[in-house]
Amino acid sequence: MTTKLFGEPVQRREDPRLLTGNGRYLDDLGREALAAAFVRSPHAHARVRDIDVTAALDVEGLVAVYTWEDLPERVGRALPLLIPHPALTHGRTAYPLARDVVRHVGEPVVMVVAADRYAAEDACALIEVDYEPLKPVVGLEEAVQGAQLVHEDVPGNVGAHLVQEVAAADGRGAREAIETAPHTLAFRLDIERSASMPLEGRGVYARWDGRDLRVYSSTQTSTSVRMAVAAALGLPLPQVEVIAPDVGGGFGVKIVHPWPEEVLVPWAAMTLGREVKWTEDRREHFISSAHERGQVQYVRVGFDDDGRVLGLDVTILHDHGAYTPYGIIVPIVTSTQLLGPYKPGSYRVEFTAVYTNTVQVTPYRGAGRPQGVFCMERTMDKIARYLGKDRTQVREANFIRPEEFPYDQKMTFQDGRPLIYDSGNYPEMLRMIKELIGWDSFEAGPGRGIGIGCYVEGTGVGPYEGGHVQITSDGRVHVSTGLTSQGQGHETAFAQIAATELGVPIERVSVVTGDTRRFGYAVGTFASRAAVVSGNAIALACRKVREKALRIAADALEANPADLEIADGVVHVAGTPSAAVPLSTVAVLANPLRYAFDEETAKATQFAGAAAPDRPPVAEGEEPGLEGRDYYSPIRSTFAAGMHAAIVETDPDTAEIKVVRYAVVHDCGRLINPMIVEGQIHGGVAQGIGGALYERMVYDQHGQLVNASFMDFLMPYATEIPHVETGHLETPSPLNPLGVKGAGEAGVIPVSAVIASALEDAEGIEVNRMPISPSELFELRAARMG
Amino acid sequence: MKPPPFAYHAPRDLVAAVRTLAEVGGKVLAGGQSLIPMLNMRLAAPEHLVDINRVAGLDEIEVTPAGVRVGATARHADVEAAGVHPLLTRALKLVAHPVIRNRGTVVGSLVHADPAAELPAVLALLDGRVRLARWDGDGVAVREVPAADFFVGPMESAVEPDEVAVSAFFPALAPGSGFAFEEVSRRHGDYALAGVCAVVTARSAKVACIGVGPVPVVVELGEAWSDWRAAAAVVRAATDPEGDIHASAAYRGHLVGVLAERALREAAREGAAARGA
């Protein structure tokens, strides 16, 4: 039996639980808890003049009603601005409950706690809030005019403005390079809003026992929620524990914290001395959590006869919604990751992030990359069309070559570190994707087109993650890491790493994530970072444990540690299988005991004769137990890459759009589990097709989200998603011990660009705005006909 | 997303059902596929719900040479599986998804009167009718409302607040007729952006269109046509679609023309095959 599991398509160990309804999600917990519900603003922009709760007080089962004025000073403070940036000159965050002005439909105004959610909603319906409506700012055009302000003290609605420029080798700026380029093009590209939309919304459940607070949250970062909650409630950190139970998807929205409810529900539990739970419903998720993607991008490009980009000048207008709790990560990621696998001669990018009276914008899977890739890939297609060249030829002319790594793009990435690509092989990847989709033999015709899109994704951002590994005297291996899981398959992938490093059967390995009782230091699960950062931390922790196990076993076997190996959970002398000691025994020996609790542990007690009487039972520099803890802190991100291609067919009469084939070649360095990577890609592509053809947030002029339900927000079904063909390329990362790169966001990133490319090919019209519906394709056709 | 308080009534027979409705008012609950979401979103707040799911005999599907009578609690899935009316069966396959069809009812869909729904168009095209019952003080009074009068406006049917729709009658297709149902929806199983249901015989053609007017738009095309494109233009001219976030009015107008032509051609081809022509 092999214990070399790294790289094998091991079936996901969490699936039997999750697929048979045995997952334990937030709402499965706390059945006896009181329920919270919120009165949320029906106005996009209004001043709260008065709140009259009297009618609600008679509702049977009502326990408490809270407005901002009821909150203690510490609890009522504006929520933290999580990632400050010098360019974010006017960062603004919301209050847990509206203080005086509401700035989007759905902003919480009153919190109600009752015996159950029915009573809580009944009470909400009876609370009368007197609003003085203010004129809302909706849409980028209105925001940049600045005639109406979202925040009175933010002139022009501009929260942030940032220019980054990478000059040409001769020192000339991008604008100058474009002026003198043989050819130039200029165009505008639009991407509309969508949202993470996990099937499980947010939720918080809190228990206070008079001394300690336990909080369960459907979050992507339990350690940070813990610190934020402790700070807001003025509790010593050791008295707060936060647990992420099974989480039904995150996709970015749950990395934001603390949400108003994450502060208010624990506070109410402490104040009332009762368990309190809040489970977000779908409408709340649409209007009260976060959106992303909405961006307008103006592009100017200068290029030579081969299509090589000499200068690229991009101006981005970013709709940040009402608040900026997560800083300006999204437009920064767009600005930097727009470059993809290319090396333009010079590059200037400028973004302006403006406030609107809509739901706040925070990262959603891809986090600004889909917009940037749409920008760059549309540019490549337009250059090819202008020059009459094959689209892949223009891309190839601009690629960074394999021998140029590490390649410095001379910008600052989202982690504040230099944008240096660690490894990659883009020409080989292009060859693979062309072969997989049959690029060279494809024959376009009316209503049938092929498209391509390339991207590079900085993954595995720091600052760090940690891993703790313990082997107990029953031979079981307990792995824990602080970051959370939302269905990615960490219980499998991390167990594969541990089983491989320690030489134990995977059945003996269990993995716990996102529980601050087990591991207190972590950052969170976002930015395709879990496998890279926690995966390496766990591997390093395993290596510590392994070294200790070999040391103890060497003593027991009277052998040299260098001659030992571990297989199937047993340490033995290489080449002499009979000279062996199981890890369970090693674990016993590692922990000198006064008291035995079974036959095995009796071997470690003080009269068993194992210990040398002239040395302390725990040697100097040693710790009891067979366990190890280590951290991995990457010097900078590692850069995964991918190329997607699709064939689409359009109906000549109905303008319906069908994705006939979809192919992905992906490079995330060494694969831990190819099946999990493929699953991540499939899900990402599905989400990408949603963004390309179906999903959008439709606000009317009053700032009402008119499609805030799954009936009108068109998340695609399985019936809308084609089979996804995948190919893997493995260029190991030189930056981390395992050589891995992240894979979580890969699938979603280039899809809008790919579909636009294929549609242009099929229809012979320019596609500069995504998503695109049959109705919009019909209008584009009509416009072409004049 | 929890409904406001309501009193719940679960009568066991029709007399009790209509008497309860007469006494307390409120809404009738059958499959609940539209009413329950409206309650949960607090878009509707009836004080009483009269659940007819336990009323004996209302789930029957009665087949006669004249047509099919579908009881008020017969589920989409049951009627689809019965396969007793080919056009109805075809249309039911276009209604939402299996999970919804397992609970939703044919009669409920008619009463809900969504102008983009398939079943109202089938009833309208076939000149079917809906049987309504109410308590008149002494007993159960019944009236039959023809489809032409049943669909009053968007989400509005001729059912009075004190009436229960107990069944719908779908007349059988004439021998030798062909039919088709063509629609375009954004996602599989969604309400259609536009759709056309057509029946063509040797001497007549008739369509009902969905999603392009406040109620199903029925167009009698009279004598059989040789140029279906021209016939489709007549159909298109009879509709007055509106735009929404999913499709512009112009696109819906275009679509109904395309779908009318497709449906008419298909129905004509099928009819000709049935007649051995």
Q: Express each pLDDT in A654-680 by its tens digit.
A: 999 999 999 999 999 999 999 999 999
Q: Cβ separation of A782 and B250 shorter than 8 Å?
A: yes
Distance CA(A156)–CA(A137), nearest Å, equals 11
Strand runs labelled E in A399-541: 407-412, 418-421, 448-459, 465-471, 477-481, 509-513
Point out the residue among A698, A709, A775 whose CB comes nearest to the CB of B251.
A775
Q: Express each pLDDT in A733-768 by its tens digit.
A: 999 999 999 999 999 999 999 999 999 999 999 999
Q: How many alpha carbons lie under 13 Å from residue A130 in its C-beta half-sphere?
A: 5
Question: Tokens 């050589």 map to which residue?
Answer: A739
Full DSSP string of A147-211: SS-SSTTSGGGEEEEEEEEE--TTS--HHHHHHTSSEEEEEEEEE--B----SS--EEEEEE-SS
pLDDT at B53: 97
Q: What interface predicted TM-score (ipTM) does this complex get?
A: 0.95
Task: Choose among A149, A151, A111, A154: nearest CA to A129.
Answer: A111
* Residue range A281-296: mean pLDDT, rounded: 97
pLDDT at A604: 82
Closest CA of chain B from A284, distance in Å: 9
Distance CA(A9)–CA(A25), nearest Å, equals 27
* Residue range A12-34: mean pLDDT, rounded: 96
- Examine residue A624 and say whether the peptide bond preceding it is cis (omega within 30 degrees of 0): no
Q: Cβ separation of B4 and A707 shorter than 8 Å?
A: no
- Examine residue A716 and say whether the peptide bond preceding it is cis (omega within 30 degrees of 0): no
pLDDT at B223: 77
Chain A partners of B182 at a C-beta cutoff of 8 Å? none
Q: Cβ separation of A779 and B248 shorter than 8 Å?
A: yes
- Give the tokens for residue A275: 């368990």
CATH 3.30.390.50 in chain B is located at: 178-274
**Cα angle, residue B248 at apex, residues A379 and A193 outer, rounded to 5°:** 45
Task: Choose among A475, A478, A508: nearest CA to A583.
Answer: A475
Q: Cβ separation of B186 and A653 shorter than 8 Å?
A: no
Is A579 exposed, middle or buried, given 0-12, 13-18 or 19+ CB atoms closer than 10 A? middle
Closest CA of chain A from B13, distance in Å: 30
- Angstrom CA distances, A499 to A201, A491, B240, stand at 34, 12, 67
Point out the residue among A118, A714, A779 whose CB comes nearest to the CB of B186.
A714
Q: Is the pLDDT of residue A248 over 50?
A: yes
CB A157 within 8 A of CB A146: yes
**Share above pLDDT 90 across residues of chain A, in percent, rounded to a whole number:** 93
Query: B178-274 has which CATH code?
Result: 3.30.390.50
Q: Is the pLDDT of residue B23 over 60?
A: yes
Helix (H, G, I), strand (E, B) or coil at A350: strand
**Share above pLDDT 70 across residues of chain A, in percent, rounded to a whole number:** 99
Instruction: Kindly indicate the confidence band of residue A1, based on its pLDDT and cuts at 50, 70 and 90.
Output: very low
CATH 3.30.465.10 in chain B is located at: 61-171
Q: Which domains can be identified in chain A, with CATH numbers?
A: 33-134+196-288 (3.90.1170.50), 163-182+187-193+291-461+635-785 (3.30.365.10), 463-590+625-632 (3.30.365.10)
Instruction: Kindly indicate the confidence band of residue B26, based on its pLDDT and cuts at 50, 70 and 90.
Output: very high
Helix (H, G, I), strand (E, B) or coil at A401: coil
Full DSSP string of A546-595: HHHHHHHHHHHHTS-GGGEEEETTEEEETTEEEEEEEHHHHHHHTS-BSS
Q: Is the pLDDT of residue A304 over 70?
A: yes
Interface residues of A toward B, Cβ cutoff 8 Å, are 117-118, 121-122, 125, 281-283, 653-656, 694, 698, 706-707, 709, 712, 714, 716-717, 719-720, 773-775, 778-779, 782
- Give the tokens for residue A508: 């003996």
Point out the residue among A282, A653, A706 whose CB comes nearest to the CB of B245.
A706
Q: Cβ separation of B188 and A717 shorter than 8 Å?
A: yes
State the first-to-last Cα distance of chain B, in angstroms, to the nearest integer.
57
* Residue range A701-723: mean pLDDT, rounded: 96
Chain B partners of A709 at a C-beta cutoff of 8 Å? 41
Given the DSSP bridges, would you call strands A564-567 and B61-64 parallel, antiparallel or unpaired? Answer: unpaired
Q: Any idea how long chain A is?
A: 786
- Give the tokens for residue A589: 């020996």
| Phi, psi angles (nearest 5°) of residue A437 | -90, -15
Taking the CA atoms of A636, A639, A640 and A646 in sequence, report the sign of the dihedral they define: positive
B99 Cβ under 8 Å from any chain A Cβ: no
Give A531's DSSP letter: I
Q: Cβ separation of B247 and A775 shorter than 8 Å?
A: yes
- Return residues 182-221 of B near A (CB < 8 Å): 184, 186-190, 193
* Candidates A288, A654, A699, A710, partner chain B, best to mutate (most B CBs within 10 A): A654
Task: Choose among B38, B47, B36: nearest CA to B9.
Answer: B47
| Phi, psi angles (nearest 5°) of residue A162 | -145, 130
Classify B61-171 by CATH class. Answer: alpha beta
CB A320 within 8 A of CB A361: yes
**Cα angle, residue A660 at apex, residues A656 and A662 outer, rounded to 5°:** 125
Beta-carbon neighbour count of residue A171 at 10 Å? 8
- Give the tokens for residue B172: 């059988």
- Angle of helix A535-557 relative to helix A490-502, nearest 10 degrees, comes to 30
Q: Which residue is closest to B247 within chain A, CA to CA? A: A775
pLDDT at B17: 97
CB B204 within 8 A of CB B223: yes
B2 Cβ under 8 Å from any chain A Cβ: yes
Distance CA(A357)–CA(A139), nearest Å, equals 9
Is A593 exposed, middle or buried, given 0-12, 13-18 or 19+ CB atoms closer than 10 A? middle
Closest CA of chain B from A716, distance in Å: 7
Point out the residue among A125, A653, A717 whose CB comes nearest to the CB of B187.
A717
Q: Is the pLDDT of residue A612 over 80?
A: no
Q: Express each pLDDT in A60-79 by its tens digit.
A: 999 999 999 999 999 999 99
Q: How many alpha carbons lie under 13 Å from residue A222 in its C-beta half-sphere?
A: 31
Q: Which residues contact A21 (CB under 8 A, 6 or more apart)?
A: none
Distance CA(B69)–CA(B61), nearest Å, equals 6
* Residue range A777-782: mean pLDDT, rounded: 96
Q: Express each pLDDT in A329-349 by its tens digit.
A: 999 999 999 999 999 999 999
Closest CA of chain B from A479, distance in Å: 39
Task: Choose among B117, B92, B86, B116: nearest CA to B179.
Answer: B86
Q: How many alpha carbons lie under 13 Å from residue A515 in its C-beta half-sphere?
A: 10
Q: Cβ separation of B258 and A782 shorter than 8 Å?
A: no
Q: Any idea how long chain B is?
A: 277
CB A126 within 8 A of CB A316: no
Q: Express each pLDDT in B118-138 by its tens digit.
A: 999 999 999 999 999 999 999
> Within chain B, how many helices (H) and strands (E) appear?
10, 14
Helix (H, G, I), strand (E, B) or coil at A404: helix
Rg (CA), chain A: 28
Lowest mean pLDDT among A90-94, A454-458, B222-226: B222-226
| Element at B134 (helix H, strand E) | strand B129-135
Task: Choose among B101, B21, B89, B26: nearest CA to B55.
Answer: B21
* Residue range B106-110: mean pLDDT, rounded: 98
- Examine residue A96 and say whether the peptide bond preceding it is cis (omega within 30 degrees of 0): no
pLDDT at A431: 98
Q: Express each pLDDT in A83-124 by its tens digit.
A: 999 999 999 999 999 999 999 999 999 999 999 999 999 999
Task: Choose among B113, B13, B6: nearest CA to B58.
Answer: B13
Given the DSSP bridges, would you call strands B156-157 and B151-153 parallel, antiparallel or unpaired? Answer: antiparallel
B36 Cβ under 8 Å from any chain A Cβ: no
CB B201 within 8 A of CB B214: no
Is A607 exposed, middle or buried, given 0-12, 13-18 or 19+ CB atoms closer than 10 A? exposed
Distance CA(A254)–CA(A256), nearest Å, equals 5
